[in-house]
Amino acid sequence: MKQGFSSIRAAARLSVAPMMDWTDRHCRYFHRQLSGQSLLYTEMVTAPALVRGGATHLLTFSPEEHPVALQLGGSDPAELAEAARMGAAAGYDEINLNCGCPSDRVQSGTFGAILMTDPGRVAECVAAMRAAVDIEVTVKCRIGVDDQTPEEVLPEFLSRVGAAGCERFIIHARKAWLQGLSPKENRDIPPLDYDLVMRMRGYFQGLHLSVNGGITSLVEVERFLDAGLDGVMVGRAAYHDPSGILAHADRRIFGTGEDRDPVAVVHAMLPYIDAHVAAGGKLGQVTRHMLGLFAGQPGARLWRRILSEGAHKPEANSALVLRALEPVLEGAAVAAEG
Ligand SMILES: Cc1cc2nc3c(=O)[nH]c(=O)nc-3n(C[C@H](O)[C@H](O)[C@H](O)COP(=O)(O)O)c2cc1C
């Protein structure tokens, strides 16, 4: 079901980051089986692709994915407003503007992290998007780019964009270096500055602030929430170890619901997989997101190997998933005996 303003904010206590090529609709459906409460983000969809390219298929999602936010890339207020309208009409619960992505392709279109240098434009974009939709408009940003001084630019950015009507920000707590680092290096090399994000918590009491970057366990998530942040966004750790981050999240982070059993999650995925394959889709399009499900458990290596080697074959279907599960079940049985 589509979510209201306050429930989407509650869901933002823990969110899974937008990740290009990773958090597609199949991944989000899978993550939803592990946590009913966490907020899920799409990969970035560019406003020009939607508005000028008519790529509305990029908006398709399953109703089970709610609460789900659409991340947009762009820097033209009118175009972003139109793209936001399309996202709201498609049923998304939130529209998020990407001000953090440093990739070349994104820089060439003057959007993503380069927007940290132009808060006035971001404010205009946010105001236009807010006027176009009645769902929440949020911003994901960095603490600065290149030789900017984060202590100065981040409060200025939050204050100007906040004044334009954005009340919720996700801050990736490191700079992006737009020259000389690859997008991948830009997720690891610039140092994290969580203290700065915590200081923003103190300055901007009226804003809903989530921290992102380098967070790899629920213990860390809890620590940030206890320290006063409103939300924590986890990216790579949620993708590579989805059980570790999501299977206990409903109980530990949201105080509601039960822990999810990864084996039961596999079974819950089977009807979805069958429907996808029956509609002409490939098994691997779904199972590639599930490879980390048993990370660290006996049988995990065979689970990954059986799926990686078999899922791309034309005849592959959910029977392969059950076969890949066998070593995990055997591993669990041996561990229980031992
Ligand atoms: C494969 C990949 C793709 C990403 N694509 C996006 C994207 O489309 N939009 C975005 O705002 N950030 C993107 N990011 C950055 C993540 O959202 C997140 O900010 C970053 O990975 C830091 O969080 P983490 O340390 O928890 O992974 C991407 C990250 C990865 C690993």
Nearest alpha carbon, ligand 1 atom 6: 19
- Ligand 1 geometric centre to CA of 19 (Å): 5
| Torsion angles phi and psi, residue 65, rounded to 5 | -70, -20
For 8-23, write each residue's pLDDT tens digit.
Answer: 999 999 999 999 999 9
Please list the alpha-helical segments (H only) found in the chain.
5-11, 25-34, 47-51, 77-90, 104-108, 119-132, 150-163, 194-203, 218-226, 236-240, 242, 249-254, 262-278, 283-287, 300-310, 318-337
Nearest alpha carbon, ligand 1 atom 23: 213
| C-alpha span between 124 and 81 (Å, rounded) | 10
Pick the most confident of 67-71, 108-112, 178-182.
Answer: 67-71
Residue 104 confidence (pLDDT) above 70? no
Residue 108 confidence (pLDDT) above 60? no
CA dihedral over 312, 315, 316, 317, signed as positive or negative: positive
Q: What local confidence, expressed as pLDDT, does residue 4 receive?
A: 74
Q: Which of 45, 114, 187 is the pocket-test mutation for ligand 1 (most atoms within 8 Å of CB)? A: 187
Which of left, alpha, beta for 148 (phi over 0: left; psi -120 to 50: alpha)? beta
Among the residue ranges 101-105, 152-156, 239-243, 294-298, the one predicted with the least confidence is 101-105
Q: What local confidence, expressed as pLDDT, does residue 236 receive?
A: 98
Q: Which residues contact 319 (CB under 8 A, 6 or more apart)?
A: none
**Is 11 in contact with 67 (CB distance < 8 Å)?**
yes
Region 288-307: mean pLDDT is 97
Q: What local confidence, expressed as pLDDT, does residue 109 receive?
A: 66
- Ligand 1 geometric centre to CA of 119 (Å): 21
pTM for this prediction = 0.97
Residue 89 neighbours by CB distance under 10 Å? 11
Q: Which residues contact 329 (CB under 8 A, 6 or more apart)?
A: 263, 299
Q: Which residues line ligand 1 (CB under 6 A)?
A: 17-22, 43-44, 71, 98, 100-101, 140, 172, 187, 212-215, 234-237
- Ligand 1 geometric centre to CA of 311 (Å): 26
Residue 188 confidence (pLDDT) above 70? yes
Confidence band for 180, pLDDT divided at 50, 70 and 90: confident
3-state secondary structure of 308: helix
Q: Which of 14, 20, 28, 218 is the pocket-test mutation for ligand 1 (most atoms within 8 Å of CB)? A: 20
- Ligand 1 geometric centre to CA of 333 (Å): 37
Among the residue ranges 166-170, 224-228, 311-315, the one predicted with the least confidence is 311-315
| C-alpha span between 120 and 130 (Å, rounded) | 15
Region 154-160: mean pLDDT is 98
Catalytic residues: 101
* CA 233 to ligand 1: nearest atom: 26
Return the amino acid letter for 171. Answer: I
The residues that bridge with 70 in the sheet, in sequence order, are 95
Residue 107 confidence (pLDDT) above 70? no
